[in-house]
Amino acid sequence: YHFLSIVVAFMDLEGLLAQLLSPDNAVRGPAEQHLHNAIQYPDQLMLSLIKVTRSSNFPELKAMSSVLLRKYLYKGNDSLWPKITPNTQESVKRELLLGAEQENDPAVRKKIYDAISELASFIIGGEYQNQQWPELLPSLFRFTNSLQVHHREGALNIFSKLIYFVNDQMKQYFGILKTLFSNGLKDPDPKVRIAALQAVISFFQSNSDDFAETGQRKEFIELVPLMIDVLVSLIQTRNEDSARTALELLVELAGTDPSYLRAYINLCLNIMLSICNGDYEQSTRHIALEFLITISESRPGMARKIPQFLQNVLPVLLRMLMKLEENPHWNLGEDHDVIDDDSRFAEEALDRFAMALGGKMLVPLLFSVAPELLKSSDWRQRHAAVMALTLIAEGCYKHLVAHLGTLLNFIFPMFSDPHPRVRWAACNAMGQFALDFPGALQQQFHNKIFPTIISMTRDAQNPRVQSHAASAIINLCEHCKSETLELYTDDILSSLVNMLRTNNKVVQEETITAIAAIADCIEHRFAKYYDTFVPYLKTLLSSNESPDLKPLQGKAIECLSFIGVAVGKERFLNDAKDIMEFLIKKEKLSNDDTNFTLISQACGRFCSCLGLDFVPYLPYVIPPLLKSSSIQPDIRISDASTTEDHDEGWGVISVGEKNIAINTTLLEEKATACNMLFCYAQALKEGFFPYVEEVAKLTIPFLKFYFSDDVRSAAASLMPCLLLSTKLHLEKTGNDKQLLYNLWDFMLPTFLQSLQTELDMELLVSKLEFLNESLDTVGGYCTAAGLEESVKTISTLISDCAERSDDRNEKKSDQDYDNEDEERLKEESNREEDILNQICELNSKLARAHKGQYINILLQDTAVTKLLWDMLGQDAQPFEKGGALWILGEVVEHGASAWGPTLPGPLASLVNIFSDGLRQPSPSIRERSADGIAAFAKTSQQSLLPRVIDIVKDLMQIIQDPNARSEENSSARESAVTAFGQIVRSFPNNYQQMLPLWLSFIPVTIDDFDNLCYFLENDPFRELLLNQNLNGVLVMLGEILDPELEEEFQKRIQGLFSYLAQYPTFRPAVELLCHQQKEKINSCLNRIF
């Protein structure tokens, strides 16, 4: 029966396709099964499909057949192409080209062109590159000269899709292609011109590197005026549908490589401005503006050099911002807003312009036009000016932070504006400024800001203004000093109490959040307001559970948690238990509750407040978090040509010809749940141990969850907490550490692999910090396999650093490079320095823990050693050289167990590199060079001997420099003092002169303490110190003593003081110390005796 059904399917494929098109599931289901069975006979299926596509009398069946043909030709690993015979392959290729030439139905013809594109890319650009399709290019060239419009359009469309895959083969045809493109751009038919424009842009994008090498770019740039003419002609003939397509293609070029447009950028600007200012459809004007934004984002330096660029663009944006209408229902809430798309788009555009171009040009320009707008009799102009000043704040921070007074002087009068929407905009501005200028705003202008905002909370006739004033208070509290906010707390809370009494839910929600923000800021000082708010908030929880009250109750729980953390466990404990019992009883901890996110975060704060008293509630809060953490990403992929509406909470990006939509709401829930697991693990430590294994198995893979940065960040932060929880539990129960090591062995490979593929640089720094913290927790434990993977990771990360360094250097040579770019690159370099420091820290921890075993693995990786030597080159940045010296210094210090006192091969030359580094102007290079000298003095004295006198002089120069103790130079000085002490230990011949000199430097680091202990434990140093420099010894001990010192050092100190106390001059010498040093030493003596 199975065989017969397949035979029937091939004999009557048209009937089968008709059944597939049926809306009746009972008809369509069996047909789908027959088709699935037919896949077992790929030759017959492909030939049958091509036959229907070419010869059916029913267009809908031909279209369906061509779709299936394309699907089976290019279905990733399931493609039927490699499964059919060469004869069938030739038949398919021949018939497709004939179909492209002869098919009359436009829909079918398009699908045939698509199938050709897919098949060609599969053959030429995929894994079957050894196959040929010699007829393809000649056929396409012939089509471009056809009298038929659809032939010319179809060929160019195929070129645009295929050019990335056949680029090497096309190089010999560059001359023909230029003529072909030129003719297409001048074609009388707009569809052909659009296809040509797409093909040229695809060609540009695929050949940018080759053009740079061969110098052919200039030749092809001659096509740009024709490309622009395509847009101009479409605009002039009011063919806006096609014009929008042309604009979108030019936006694509502007985003990938706008340098092609450089010579014609003024022409482009004028055309786009004429569209923005013209009587065109809104979407057309927006795409023209998008072109200007994209140029600014992709090549900000080029945009800043365009004459009158912002002077021409800003009026367009301001005019769009003014597209507002009076709305009698405005005060009812955001659901009743009527916002013109022009205004919304202008807000986004102005923010993006500011972020891209900075404030050097934009701030003076806006400051020059704002006064007139703010004095206008039209509230829309005043509103637009306030919004514009607000929108540029983040991107223009560096230029505005020095002119905050001027900026605020624009805004303050607007709080008295007669129109409520202008007052709302002023509140919005202040709230945004609080985030964009954190701390500086509150510190400098609190005496005017807070009274003004408080007055807005009393605007009872305009609840939107009231609620936005509360929102501003929330933001102002975030970076406000508690003592500053306390000056206004009584007045603010008095107003907020009155706002709670309104019947407006939006006002009440923002008010409750503002109370939470105040509690979070002033902390224990909120205790005096506790009885005013906590009973009221608890009453809200127990009120009726109507759906419209749910958001308010969620806010109440959130607020209670902030108050609890602020006032502390002693005051809050009983209320916290009441709240938790309520949440459990009412089943509010379920993932299905609409307030789940707010409640789970609040429970995390309850836990932070209660500590181990929260442990009994873990069985109720952890399972829902595990469920939410397990959420899989919801992704939908569709053709870019199709328009699909997505509900709120979906994000869509375009990748090639596909749209990828992802449910961001689910991702946010997953990230929040992971963060809450971190909060519990961090707060409870060993109390979280019962959940460590389950949480670890679930979240460790999230280190590579590339759909969400927040999920990866939460997973990384969890790792050291899970290890610490396990370690403390084992110590408390008296068990050995094998369970801890097993957890680390399970965790480390994924952790390291995630570092090698992490693309977010700030998250990379955090991940490295958490990895280093984890290593500390496990005491540096690592298996041989773990060491090898660690070296691989270090090699990959340093290589990535080098690539990014090359990219930055390349940007500096760009003709558009300017001061704004210089500032951005400095920020990138600072972030890169953070990354490299964490890499070096990782190397240091592994070297100290595993010494020669690790060093041997490191040096066997030739890529690492080459990168390190490259980082010492003349073109390297100081932090890069410092990083290389840091790593190599650890190699010298800890590799001795592998090779003894004589360094192998090229490492012997390091002494010269470290010695020369002592004289470099960069403090970080001097610091790491001194560390390297100390390592040589400790492990390879013979290598140091020829230069030791010069080295001592250089160290003295660093130590005694007048600015040596400045913040910038202090670390270099400390390292130099340590190196000096190590040289005294290793070369004791002149200790009588050198040791007192070293002691006079009064160093304060642990390494110096190690040197001091050595000198006090060994003669002849001990006799000299105690007989002639006892006071100096005690001063140094007074500097170093700290109750937090590691146990090893504590024991060593006790031994020293037990010995020193025997000296008759010891007690009198202690009495001569300063009060702080005397207290430290006496405290230590009391613990010993």
For 690-710, the pLDDT digits (tens) are: 999 999 999 999 999 999 999
- 678 band by pLDDT with thresholds 50, 70 and 90: very high
The C-alpha torsion from 728 through 733 and 736 to 737, rounded to 10°, is -20
> Which of these ranges, 6-15, 385-394, 1017-1026, has the smallest mean pLDDT?
6-15
C-alpha distance from residue 283 to each of 247, 274, 276, 349, 459 (Å): 11, 14, 10, 14, 38
Provide mean pLDDT across the span 97-114. 90
Residue type (1 letter), 501:
R
C-alpha distance from residue 930 to each of 844, 891, 917 (Å): 16, 14, 8
Using one digit for the tens of pLDDT, what is the confidence trace for 610-621? 999 999 999 999
CB 981 within 8 A of CB 1040: no
* Mutual angle of helices 910-917 and 878-894, in 10-degree steps: 130
Rounded to whole angstroms, how far apart are CA atoms 449 and 455?
A: 10
Count how many Cα atoms sit within 13 Å of the Cα of residue 168 in the half-sphere of its side chain: 4
- 4 band by pLDDT with thresholds 50, 70 and 90: very low
Q: Between 21 and 322, whose confidence is greater?
A: 322
**Can you give the pLDDT at residue 2?**
45
**Can you give the pLDDT at residue 645?**
61
Please say if the pLDDT value at position 417 is more than 90: yes
Cβ atoms within 10 Å, residue 27? 13
Count how many Cα atoms sit within 13 Å of the Cα of residue 410 in the half-sphere of its side chain: 28
Query: Hey, what are 294's tokens?
Result: 């994209």
Pick from 396, 234, 286, 214: which is nearest to 823 by CA? 396
User: In angstroms, how far is CA 420 from the centroid of its own chain?
Assistant: 38
Query: Hey, what are 143's tokens?
Result: 């089509």
Measured in residues, the chain has a length of 1089
Q: Using DSSP, how many helices (H) and how many strands (E) does the chain show?
A: 57, 3
- 561 band by pLDDT with thresholds 50, 70 and 90: very high
Using one digit for the tens of pLDDT, what is the confidence trace for 934-945? 999 988 888 888
**Can you give the pLDDT at residue 774?**
97
pTM value?
A: 0.83
Write out the DSSP string of 721-745: HHHHHHHHHHHHHT--SHHHHHHHH
Query: Hey, what are 1036's tokens?
Result: 């140094």
* Mutual angle of helices 761-777 and 709-733, in 10-degree steps: 10
Count how many Cα atoms sit within 13 Å of the Cα of residue 294 in the half-sphere of its side chain: 23
CB 1041 within 8 A of CB 1049: no
Pick from 454, 331, 468, 449: which is nearest to 387 by CA? 468
> Which of these ranges, 340-349, 856-865, 1069-1078, has the smallest mean pLDDT?
1069-1078
Query: Hey, what are 383's tokens?
Result: 């509103």
Rounded to whole angstroms, how far apart are CA atoms 809 and 827?
A: 14
- 1063 band by pLDDT with thresholds 50, 70 and 90: confident
DSSP state of 903: P
> Which of these ranges, 518-527, 647-656, 720-729, has the smallest mean pLDDT?
647-656
Rounded to whole angstroms, how far apart are CA atoms 1071 and 1068?
A: 5
Using alpha carbons only, what angle is made at residue 930 by residues 924 and 934, rounded to the nearest 5 degrees? 145
Rounded to whole angstroms, how far apart are CA atoms 165 and 202?
A: 11
Residues 6+ apart with CB under 8 A from 641: 657
C-alpha distance from residue 617 to each of 380, 579, 623, 756 (Å): 53, 11, 11, 38
C-alpha distance from residue 934 to each of 186, 1007, 1008, 1014 (Å): 73, 10, 11, 15
Rounded to whole angstroms, how far apart are CA atoms 1069 and 540?
A: 67
> Which of these ranges, 98-102, 461-465, 632-636, has the smallest mean pLDDT?
632-636
**Can you give the pLDDT at residue 996?**
85
Write out the DSSP string of 825-857: HHHHHHHHHHHHHHHHHHHHHHHHHHHHHHHHH
Cβ atoms within 10 Å, residue 145? 11
Rounded to whole angstroms, how far apart are CA atoms 240 and 246?
A: 9
Query: Hey, what are 117's tokens?
Result: 């594109």
CB 451 within 8 A of CB 413: no
Rounded to whole angstroms, how far apart are CA atoms 501 and 511?
A: 10
Percent of the chain with pLDDT over 90: 59
CB 272 within 8 A of CB 312: no
Rounded to whole angstroms, how far apart are CA atoms 251 and 943?
A: 62
Rounded to whole angstroms, how far apart are CA atoms 602 and 558?
A: 5
Q: Is 752 exposed, middle or buried (0-12, 13-18, 19+ CB in 10 A)?
A: buried
